[in-house]
Chains A and B, each alone.
Chain A
Amino acid sequence: MKFVDEFRDAELGRALAGEILSLVEPGRHYKFMEVCGGHTHSIYKYGVDDLLPANVELVHGPGCPVCVIPMGRVDDGIAVAHHDGVIFTCFGDMMRVPGSEGSLLEAKAAGADIRMVYSPLDALRIARDNPEREVVFFAIGFETTAPSTALTLKRARMEGLRNFSVMCSHVTIVPPLRALLESPDLRLDGFIGPGHVSTIVGARPFEFIPADYGKPVAIAGFEPLDILQAIVMILEQLRDGRCEVENEYKRVVPYEGNLKALEVMAEVFELRPHFEWRGLGFISHSGLRLSDDYADFDAERRFSVPGVRVADPKACQCGEVLKGVIKPWECKVFGTGCTPERPIGTCMVSSEGACAAYYNYGRFAREREVV
């Protein structure tokens, strides 16, 4: 595949691995967080870990859109889905996320009309095709997916569609990062910045990480060479005593971001005063809701939702995993009580979740030579 295979070249990978080896100081342990779940997925999928020296450790961050959705929010979604005449649409990854009484997949089996879509525009098409039904789109994701929800809403209004609404659970990347950096139990040497989010917000919003917290950042793409190159860039910053936001993903990410997308988002969304994150608790100004201008399309205003805060299950340590404080396998229920078949925590659901990635791809990958 053109423009993809070039970034998966094994020989170039080995060359970068050699460069990384020459940059690390012997005896020093390096801990870098990849913020984005897409990176976590790539690291495991390609076995990027295997190319790193022993003293470079990758910690999986909070940037998995499914993993951060709290149980109460899933319950709200299911409640809306059970309303008479509602067609509830969501991304596939959301289907298995457990609420306090089951997942959307189970709600579907119980009779709710829940359909998997690949884009909010698919949900809009369903609304157009079913004028007698109420179609609700469960919008999740960071700044990466928020603009497509915003554009869909603009189109819905333009077409005068009255039977379409959005249950907005979009979140923003900077507040959880700040919360993480404030957390006393965290020890990180640098960040692999989120590539997809940055195509929208640009590199500028991450300047606070080196400025306020003295940690280097390299925004990276999602191919294995991108990730290795970003690690080289961070190690070079550490070697040179520099601390800044660098952009490995220049082929896609402009420093200022995508101004058009930001404009559309500003028009359609506003910040919630606070939003609950799975495992991280309430973080102020971290979630988006529809602006008053788009109130007519807000599913939370159109339908009654319980809006009850459900505490995470006691055994679940998703929060610590999301903060990178513990490794997935260090969680008390990992692989026994909590598996991809029966997830307790969200990190076990999406293939971008640290636990699912480790369970599905990581186990046994690094150890005993297989004969």
Chain B
Amino acid sequence: MSASEVSEREQRILGIIETARGKQAKFRDEQINMAHGAGGKATQSLIEGLLAPAFDNATLNEMGDAGSLNVNGVGLAMTTDSYVVKPLRFPGGSIGELAVNGTVNDLSVAGARPLALSLSLILEEGLSADELRGEVKAIAQAAAGAGVEIIAGDTKVVERGHADGMYICTTGIGARDPRAQLSPAGLRPGDRILLSGSIGEHGTAIMLARNEFELDAEIESDTRSLWPVADALLEAAGPSLRCMRDATRGGVASVLNELARSSSVAMIVREGDVPVRPEVAGAAEILGIDPMYVANEGKLVAFVGAGEADEALRALRSVPGCEQAAEIGEVRTEPPGMVLVQTSFGGRRVMDQLVGDPLPRIC
């Protein structure tokens, strides 16, 4: 068999696999395990195989970061998220800050200006009042920074051992921006893929803060509100902005895979153009983890028509904190649903979705 062409048999088998992959994910597990929470294929099977069919409706089925609804002719967007991070405080942020920014960002990438949040606190018996005060302050500051008000809330206390200090749920409401014509199914061949900055910082900061590796590096979480970023892109690209996603759990790789599937397109990513800070690259190298799969809390991926891509990138780079923004690849046609990587070394490979958490390699 030649290395540059593939035998007919292999081709046929690859075809069968693609058909199998294209089918809606089924939820067949007997119990929930940690992989279901990691944002990869197991999470997808839970959402597409159990939740979406149960609540079947047009808005939900779009699988956007926020659902949209019209109230008396006003377009609104709504989203919700829970935050269960350990440790509660980490370099560059804390659970409270995440709980505001994460929900604000889901609204922002759906093309909605964040207006207000609800806040639900689940507190563990024994949590120190000072720690709680610190988080309340962090929430207030992050909300002020993102221009949203906390307009409703709830508190519950659970027995010791039932929560890692505290869990937070926030629900956000935003006003759909008239400039936004975004859809996860709207990607077209030729579109450019833009990334708002360097990747992998949040996930790496958390891993190091847990002190499991005894690695020391100055890496801070990138948690921030993405509304100024989304705003700049909407202004620069208007209807040519096809879709945005914040690359949280599962990283940039998972976002690209989800959208390649929902738009039935292929993508090619130029590995060398993806900004990664040297500290993150170093930690990832040591742990045998690919930064493309590591969580971010303040980075978005945007798909822009080729004609407006340069303008959009310029606008992106002018947003404070997005100086590292880059065009990292483009949308193609074949094979649909697949993300390919042009490696810096000159080869090519597939970048698939992970099943669960990225597992450090042994040796």
Contact = CB atoms under 8 A, between A and B. Distances in A.
Interface string A52-74: 11111100000001100000000
Interface in B207-231: 212-213
A335 B361 CA distance: 22
B355 A46 contact: no
B130 interface: no
* Centre residue among A14, A108, A334, A341 by max chain B CB count within 10 A: A341
A129 to B, nearest CB: 13
B210 to A, nearest CB: 11
B347 A109 contact: no
Nearest to B347: A47
B363 A196 contact: yes
B164 to A, nearest CB: 15
Interface centre among B266, B332, B355 (most CB of A within 10 A): B355
B3 to A, nearest CB: 5
A197 to B, nearest CB: 9
A363 B14 contact: yes
B362 A14 contact: no
B11 interface: yes
A178 interface: no
B205 to A, nearest CB: 17
A93 to B, nearest CB: 6
A348 to B, nearest CB: 10
B45 to A, nearest CB: 7
B244 to A, nearest CB: 24
A4 B283 CA distance: 13
B32 interface: yes
Contacts, number: 167
Interface string B270-288: 0000000010011001010
A48 B34 contact: no
B14 A364 contact: yes
A158 interface: no
A8 B359 CA distance: 23
Interface in A177-210: 196
**Which of B2, B3, B4, B34 counts the most A-chain CB atoms under 10 A from its CB?**
B3
Interface in A129-174: 140-142, 144-145
A108 B213 CA distance: 22
Contacts of A361: 349-352
A45 B343 contact: yes
A283 B353 CA distance: 36
Contact of B33 (A44, A52, A106): A106
A329 B14 contact: yes
Contacts of B268: 370
A47 B6 CA distance: 15
Interface stretch (B195-203, B310-318, B333-341): B333-341
Interface string B1-41: 11111100011011011001000000000111111000001
B20 A93 contact: no
A81 interface: no
Contacts of A95: 359
A47 B285 CA distance: 17
B162 interface: no
Interface in A325-369: 327, 329, 334-336, 339-341, 350-352, 359-368
A56 B1 CA distance: 10
B340 A365 contact: yes
A335 B13 contact: yes
A366 B348 contact: yes
A145 to B, nearest CB: 6
A53 B3 contact: yes
B282 A1 contact: yes
8 contacts: A45-B349, A47-B349, A95-B359, A141-B363, A145-B363, A334-B17, A336-B16, A370-B335
Interface of B: 1-6, 10-11, 13-14, 16-17, 20, 30-35, 41-42, 45, 189, 212-213, 266, 268, 278, 281-282, 285, 287, 332-335, 338, 340, 343-352, 355-356, 359-363
